[in-house]
Each structure stands twice: as C-alpha cells, then as structure tokens.
Structure 1
C-alpha cells in the first residue's frame, strides 16, 4: 500500500466537512435583556443534548425556546382547542409509538372502500394524502429544465452551468470516497493482522512500533480516523459508506437526465389534473425519515413516558407526502397546501425547498389561498449558507423582493445550542428581508420510523419548532388570526445583540437583526404572554 498521509488527511477532513428540515390574561415577565447571560462552558448532559431546544436561556444558559417554562408556569393544566397541523413532507410513520395518538383522522371518509365519501376529490384519504404514489427518487428541478430542452427559458444557461459543475463535483466525490473506503479497509486489515485481533482501540494502535513502511502508513491513517471523533473503524466505515450511498443516489437519480421518477400518470403542467396519488401517507422506505422527525418535533406525545416530547400538546398531525429524494414538483406543493387548507389544517409546516421553480405562481396562489382561509404556513429557510435576499428560494410568498402575496408565511433559520458567536448554524440560510426568525435546528432529537429516535439538524428542524409554538398559541387563543400569530412569534422572540458568525465564515460577522426580519430567536414563553395580551384586546 502506498498512502500519502498528508494528502489523505486533507481528503478526510474535506469529506468529514461534507457530511455534513380567548383565555384569561397571563401575568408574567417575558424573557428579555439576555445579552449579559453567561456562556455555558460545561458540556451538555445527555438529557440537555436531547431536550436543549425546549430549555431556557436564562435558567439553563442554553438558547432554547423556553418550552418547559411555558408549560410549567403558563399552560399548566389548560388543554386548549385541538389544532390540526399539516406536515407536508416525505411521509410520516403514523404507527410510531410517540405519534400514533396525535395523527389526524378524516372522520368523513370510510377506510378502504375505494370511494370518495366526503367528495373532497381524494379517495380513502384517512390520515392525509400521498401525492407521490410509489415514487421515492426524483431529479433536481434544474435537471428537469435541461431535459425539457427549453432553451428559451431565461434560466436554461444557468441550469446547464450548475448541472455541469455539480455533476463533476459529485463524480469527484464518488471517486474520493471509493478511494478512502478502499484505503481504510486495507489499513484496517494490516493493523488487525499485526495486532492479531479485530476491534482494536486507539491505545493499542498508538502502542505499535515498527519499521515496516506499509504498517507505519496504515497506523497513521487509522490514528487519524480515531482522532476524527469516530469511536471505532467500523463506525467510520459505516459513515463513509452511507455518504457514498448518498453521493451515488445524487448521481443516479437527482442528476440523472434519463431517470424518470414520476409514477402517478398525471400531467405535471396541468394544475387541474388532480386526484392522482393515494392515501398511503407512510414513508415508502425507512430511509424516508424526514417527515417523521418533523412531526415529532411538533407534536410527539408529551405524556406517554416514551421517546421525546413535542412542542405542542393539543395537536393532530395531518400527513401529506409530496417530498421525494430530489426536488418536489410545484404542482404537488400547490395542491398539498390546498388539500391541507380545505381539510381543516390551521398551520402548515413545509421543511423543503429549491432554487428553480417553473410554476412558482401556482404555489404563491396556494399560499395566498391559505392566507384567505386563515392558515399559517411555516417554512424552513434552507441549508446552503446563502443570503436569501440575494438568491431566490422556493417556495416563497413574494412577487419580488418586497411585495408579499399574504401575511401568513413565516420563514425560519436555524440556531445551535451554543449561545455566543457560534449561535447561528453554519449551514443556515439567512436574510434581513426573506428570513423572519431563527429557531433551534441543530442536534435536534426526535422521532424516526419504526419506533426509533435520532438526532439530526437543519432548518427543516427549526421550522417545526416554530410550527409547534404557533400550534400552542392557536390552541390556547383560538380567536387569534394567522397573521396575528405570525406577528406574535416575530415580535415576542428574544433579541440578541451579540456579534454572530454567519454561514460558518469567521470573516462574516453580523448581528441577528441584520440577517433576519425580526432580529430574534423564537420563544414559546414570551409568545404565550404576548398572545394573552393581544387576545384581551
């Protein structure tokens, strides 16, 4: 074996970085004036790691949303009104032990009789609707543009350039990962043979003394893998192989011009061609875990002594599957919003997005329709470290940079559990005009398919945290409108004047009011106090 250790270290670092959705008034004091709050210097406990987003900045020195405090001091035993929250996503494991009691059921539909009993246009939509049918993978939107051959499209050249650059990037990554996996495998075999055992420790590797060049190089590579926070070589190999699978899927499906993912036989360019899909809202594959995780953040059962606790305590989750591995279709997004509105949802969570949208007008019309029907939409801002004031992201509620079609759309960026300069998640998109608030999105522990629980990150996790707060407000104060709830969430958040590193770039230092419209991180406790005051007026 001939390993250049220095170049291999650089490669491994780059890969690791790459691994990278009308009651009585309350008399209480809001959480504010927190800029003198001391930084938490100790490591978070296991419980704090799993619940940090619900903790309180002043009490716990962790920048959570004060959810525990809100329940203990404000909500107490007040049940409130049941609120339907639609989760438009990749599907939800509706049989999960921590979700099965909070899933919405269409009482006007008779299960499995093959009839549209309630005449809403959807047959056997018992817990929601699946606009994807059996499809799991899809192309990216700009790949679909290239496949269409529409060279008159003003973004065709941009799409072609992005495709060529991205496709080459993933081809290179695939080759690098394959090389890395092969060389770690070889190094592991050489070290295992020398130690006469599998499953060795870093201490045993460090103790190896040899003049054999191949063994020296193998030891150096294995030592670096251990230093990269992998507990064992087996764990590292699993991580590398999982990432290689993601890269391969990117090439085989998302970037593949000949791949055809659509399986519903509808016309994607005809918004009136409806009724396609089916009533199976569960994930097609357990790897489609995104929607289940999002649902748990909002509404995982709080009193069953299992798993995790959702933000909201009196919610029914309407499951709508429209988000494949790849880019969602505008038609599916528009119809999903309208389905949610027409079937009783008061809040919609959408933890997906893209940067090309051929029928963005359909989606904006659906957003405006939701606004007219008093439905609040919460949307994750995206995970590309971009300034959305300079880069269009879809879906959005704007005809141009400052004209909104309705006042019911809330865009959410992500923060970490580290109060201080590292508060803003390095992956989070931002924008003084196009991102409204920030909320916990990093290292969020929630439900996964098949009664499991995992910790993942993204603005996809920040959005449902806010949706949960919105559900709390609408449950406790049901007379408040969607636009009022939006304003309450934005105005009641915690202001932070600390200098913040943005997009993971130490040269980009901003204050929160410079990267979001509200300049605040959401706070459930404060929001309920403000809602109480407004509800009295």
Structure 2
C-alpha cells in the first residue's frame, strides 16, 4: 500500500501566496509546481532530510524522492523527517505493537499528534506550548505547524533536552558552518546524538553511561540512553550530566522544593532558568581526567559545558610538558581560574589566540585569572618551560552573567537604538569604545553611535536591504554604486530570463504599474534609501550601512499612496530575491491578515522586517507596525535631543518590539542628485534598517528573533 503524504492545510499555511486555494487547487498546484519548487507540503515530511539520510537516494529530484517515500520509503522504515521517529512512536504507544510502518505513519498523521502522543525523544509539544505563552491556546496540530514554520527558525525551545544554541556553541566544527536551526537539528538527529555530541546542559550521554554501571553494562546506544533518562532515569533521580544532578538541584534550591517540584519540573526549570541564573545544580566535584589530557589544542581533553566550581589535579614535567583542556560556556559568564603550582597557564580562544595568561599572586602563592567571557569554546594550556616535574591543582569557576531586563515604555517602547552596542552584541563582544562624532548633517549617525561600528570595520557589506517605497533614483550620484541588481536577468531583452515571472526586473519591480520601472518621482523612497546606504564618499551624506546594497521595490505611486496588495507582493518579491532586510516606511489604519502572513513569511525565511510606527500622534502604532508583537521591528521617531517627535505614534501598552531612531529633520538623498530634510517615522525606520544591516554584516548567521532581542535588550 502507499501512504498519503500531501497535507493541503499545511501547504497553504507554509505558502501564504496560496492561502485562498481550495484543497483541489492546492493539490493541483503542488503536483504541477510546488513539488518541483521544493515547497513545504506536510508537517511530517522533509524531502531534503529524506535524501540526506538515505545515501542511495542522494541523486533523486523532489518528485523521485516523493514517489519513493510514498511507495517504498515509509514501508521500509526509512527516516523522512528530523521531527519524527516511527520506531520511537511504536515503542512509546503500547496500543500499536502490531502496526507496520505504513499503519504507524497513517496513525501518527491522522490521530497521534492530535492526541498528544509521543513521537520523538527530541520534540515535546506540551513543553513547547508551556514555555511559549503566546502558544498556550494552540492544540497539538497547531503547535507542530508553528514549530516547523516559525518556532524553530525563531530559536524557540521545543524540548527540555535540546538546546540548539548550545549544540552549535559546544561543537566549534559545526558553529563555523553558520547553519540555521533546521540544519543544526537535522545534524543532531542524523549524526550528533550517535557521535556523543553535547546538546543539553542537563544531559550528557557519556556522563550518564559512565556514572551508572548498569547502563554501561547494558551497552545502550546514545539514543537509547537519552530515552532511558526520559522514561526512567529522571523519575528515578539519576544524575545526568556534570552540570546537573536533579536531587542535588532540588535539595539546594529551597524555592523549588517549596513549590513541590517533581524531577521533571526541576529539569525543565534548570534548562530554561536555573543554568543561566547560576543556581547550584551539582555537587562540587573533582573532575577525572586521563593520565595525558592532551598536549595540544587539537588533542585537548574536553571538560564539557561548565557551570559552577570544578577542580582537577594533574602533572607536567620532562616527559609531558603541556596539558590542554577544552571547555564550553553556554552563556556569557564570569570565569576565574587558580593554579597552585609553579607552572604556566594560558587561556586560549577557539582560534588559538591567547586571551590572557595567569598572573602570580604573591600572598596566596597562586596563579590566577578572572575575567568575563562570552559563550563559546575555550582552551586552557598548562605547561612547564623548564621541564621540572610538577603536580598541579587547577580550580575553575564559571558563573553565568544575567543581563538586566529591558524596560518597555508605552511611549518609546525599548528606546533609542545604539548601533555600536547592537553590533558588539551581534558578535558576542562588550560595547565598542567611543569614537569622534562626525558632526554636520550626520547627526543621526552620531546620535545612534554608528561610527563606533564603522571603526571596527562593519559597514553593511554583503547585506541587501529591500526598500518597499515610492521607487528609487538609482542613478543618484550618492546611491548608484550601492543599488542591487538581479544578476540572473539580462537587461532590455524583453524576456523573463530567470523565470521568476517578472520581465527585465534588473533593478527590482514596480508593483503599482506591474512593470520594471522603479524610478522615484515622489522622493520618499530615495530619501529612505540614502539614510540606509548612501555611499561613503567626499560629498553628500553617508548612509548608516554605506556598503550595503539597496533593492528597489516600488509599492507606492508617485503621490506616495499604495495598496496592501502591492506591499504584500513586494515582500514576497524581496524575500524570494535574496533580501536580508526589508524597510517598510509605510502605514495604514487597517489590519490585513495577508500582509501579516507576508511579514511572518519573511521572518520564517530569515529576513528582518523594519516597519514605521506611523505619524498620527496616536497611542499605538499603525499597521503593519503593530505586527511587531510577533514579527519585525516597529520604529518611532526622535529629534536631535532624543525627544519623541510630536507626530510619532507611541508604542502602546501591549509590549512589542518597538524602538526609536532619528526621524526629525533628517538630511538625505532625493531624486535628481539633490538632498533635502524630511521628517517622519519613515525617516527613522531606515536608520534601524541600516543598523540591522551592520549587525548582519558582522554576524550573517543572526536570526530575525536574535536581531529583535539584541535591539530591544
């Protein structure tokens, strides 16, 4: 028998341009176009994962993979999604022991998720809903759909045992690849667990196996060990990592004990709050290391993810002059080290650069170091210069630093953006040092500390910002070298060379007149573009991200008016043509579900949407800025003295990602190689879009949710 793989409801949800399609239309579109285009069609199937997990299918195109999975793959028990495991599903649902794989798949698809049954040791929909308050009313099907289409990419936790940020942090070979969360999760499922890699601060398969002789004797695989801990070990109160002993955690945190937390609640609390709060979670322990911990960074002994206090003893001398240790910090932390022997010690970063050496304290006779460190992987080198044999005791202390909570105000939201601070946070550094102000017409750059980011070499290079507006004078002398072009299109040949449905869209597209004329006869779009990326030359102005590229997308007519439909089409165009940031200096008094879906789509594809709050002196933002509660960033305007502009719509009482930026008498480009002063939240919005471009040029792997978190923190 074959199984039904296509889900029309999910297909529509995953592809907002098809939301009005009936089931029959959706099915027809999928068979004729969507399958070949690689569109998502089911919450249960990932064809890319299917090919990657089955090497004999690696050369299959989407249709071949789809047909193979439907006719053979499910029946053969092949892996088809990182989210589901049919063997696990059968083992943990005792009423299904006689089901074959096809029956299991059909049961899972039609009943299992809806009934809240367990289908993977790595995904817990109940946990997903409970830790994300905006999803508390979702049923299981809705939660699964949200996780796959949005939550995973937003970095939301979906299991008390899986932390994808930690997975990247604890595995430098993976972190340097710059993978998104889906790629990280696929690697974890396909390789990481079996390889014994760390993906949780509360569970370490190697530690769990070595700590309990019954588990070591049983010869359980790493996956089986995780299942054992979830099914039995946690309830039995077993210690599961060097950082977490559940009984010790409850015994030493009286507030949790007073709340009558059970072991499962305690583990979830530790993962979400306790570890980052630096709570006592494990007895002070002597780390057991091999006789030779390693004599280079490449062979360093892995101490794992550290939190709290740790001690180890070892030896260096004539036959073993150097010991190297590797450690991982899951959060920005205060780190200290003491060494009680006449040997040398260095702290080294993941690239092999020395951060600091231990200093000798004459009163305590110890070598010490104490400093704040960002999350990541580090190495400790202990070595003897003269070859004298020395035993040493090394004590380490790691205390995660808690960041002050950001304060939201109903007027200014989270307040004025700071480019220097934002870019520094994007790369895990402390705030950059101050540099001299530019003065003159560049007051907006000075007010938000843009030069501090420039001084470190971050100028927006490699980032594309789509400006959805009245068009752009792409021949302006201060803009022309920073205009994005569609390299797949041949200018003037009257053909749709790249097959995107738009003829000769070399410089973008005009969704007002449905042609390729994106010129600006209004001036609004050109002014916005200059604030973002005017060139750094000897005349005119300098944009916030002066090495970024501007993608022209015309959605407003020459009088500055437009429709939601044009904006929606413009968003999809920008996302599908490689924009990293979208500037929406537009607004309306009316909500539009399709516009909201378009912004959600952009966020799900890793595109940051920056939206003007509006100029009605209202107590809440206009639309679509009001959607910044969940997606995108709303921007209000301040003057040169950091006072809110009297025309600016306020943030409102409902907390959303709302920041402010310069928006009064902003000097920028207008058509005809001219310049002018404009005011409005439309002028503040490109300041923030430019800051986002700086952040992404510093760290192109930031997700939209990470960008939002940095800007409002």
Provide TM-score, normalisation by structure 1. 0.50
Which residue is equivalent to 2:578?
344
From 444, 448, 452, give the equivalent of 1:53: 444
Count the aligned residue pairs: 284
2:460 and 2:693 in contact (8 A); partners too: no
Q: Secondary structure at the match of 2:512?
A: coil
Please list the CA deviations of residues 68-98 of structure 1 after superposition, one character each: whole Å capped at 9, or x if unmatched: 23323x33xx567511100000010000000
Which residue is equivalent to 2:623?
394
Residue 132 of structure 1: how far off its partner (Å): 1.4
Residue 436 of structure 1: how far off its partner (Å): 0.5
Distance in 2, matches of 1:311 and 1:293, equals: 13
Q: Secondary structure at the match of 1:282?
A: coil
Which residue is equivalent to 2:541?
308
Please list the CA deviations of residues 11-69 of structure 1 after superposition, one character each: whole Å capped at 9, or x if unmatched: xxxxxxxxxxx9975454588xxxxxxxxxxxxx9x845111111xxxxxxxx101123
Distance in 1, matches of 2:617 and 2:433, equals: 31
- Relative to 1, partners in 2 of residues 1:24 and 1:382: Cα closer, same or farther, differing over 3 Å? closer
Which residue is equivalent to 1:161?
none
Which residue is equivalent to 1:213?
none
Which residue is equivalent to 2:634?
411
- Relative to 1, partners in 2 of residues 1:293 and 1:30: Cα closer, same or farther, differing over 3 Å? same
Which residue is equivalent to 1:119?
499
Q: Which has the higher contact order (CA 8 A, sep 6+)?
A: 1
Residue 380 of structure 1: how far off its partner (Å): 0.7
- Relative to 1, partners in 2 of residues 1:446 and 1:326: Cα closer, same or farther, differing over 3 Å? closer
Residue 442 of structure 1: how far off its partner (Å): 0.5
1:439 and 1:463 in contact (8 A); partners too: yes
Q: Secondary structure at the match of 1:68?
A: helix
Q: Secondary structure at the match of 1:50?
A: coil
2:637 and 2:648 in contact (8 A); partners too: yes
Which residue is equivalent to 2:712?
490
From 524, 528, 538, give the equivalent of 1:290: 524
Residue 115 of structure 1: how far off its partner (Å): 0.9
Distance in 2, matches of 1:100 and 1:50, equals: 21
2:496 and 2:503 in contact (8 A); partners too: yes
Distance in 2, matches of 1:453 and 1:471, equals: 23
Q: Secondary structure at the match of 1:442?
A: coil
Residue 112 of structure 1: how far off its partner (Å): 1.0
2:512 and 2:562 in contact (8 A); partners too: no
Q: Secondary structure at the match of 1:122?
A: coil
Distance in 2, matches of 1:375 and 1:25, equals: 21
Which runs of no fewer than 5 residues in structure 1 stay unpaired? 1-21, 32-44, 56-63, 134-276, 492-537
Which residue is equivalent to 1:66?
449
1:364 and 1:397 in contact (8 A); partners too: no
1:453 aligns with 2:675: yes
Distance in 2, matches of 1:95 and 1:129, equals: 16
- Relative to 1, partners in 2 of residues 1:346 and 1:440: Cα closer, same or farther, differing over 3 Å? same
Distance in 2, matches of 1:24 and 1:463, equals: 23
From 512, 518, 529, give the equivalent of 1:132: 512
1:465 aligns with 2:687: yes
Distance in 2, matches of 1:448 and 1:396, equals: 25
From 603, 611, 622, give the equivalent of 1:371: 603
1:116 and 1:124 in contact (8 A); partners too: yes
1:103 aligns with 2:512: no
Which residue is equivalent to 2:149?
none
Which residue is equivalent to 1:165?
none
Residue 327 of structure 1: how far off its partner (Å): 3.7
Residue 323 of structure 1: how far off its partner (Å): 1.2
Which residue is equivalent to 1:428?
648
Q: Secondary structure at the match of 1:353?
A: coil
Look at both structures and tell me which one has the larger radius of gyration over its CA atoms. Answer: 2
Q: Which runs of 4+ in 1 moved over 6 A?
A: none
Distance in 2, matches of 1:479 and 1:115, equals: 35
Which residue is equivalent to 2:22?
none
Distance in 2, matches of 1:112 and 1:130, equals: 16
**What's the C-alpha RMSD, in Å, of the aligned pairs?**
2.3
2:568 and 2:598 in contact (8 A); partners too: yes
Please list the CA deviations of residues 179-238 of structure 1 after superposition, one character each: whole Å capped at 9, or x if unmatched: xxxxxxxxxxxxxxxxxxxxxxxxxxxxxxxxxxxxxxxxxxxxxxxxxxxxxxxxxxxx
Please list the CA deviations of residues 272-321 of structure 1 after superposition, one character each: whole Å capped at 9, or x if unmatched: xxxxx1111112x3xx000000000000001x212000000331100011
Which residue is equivalent to 2:465?
85
Residue 371 of structure 1: how far off its partner (Å): 1.2
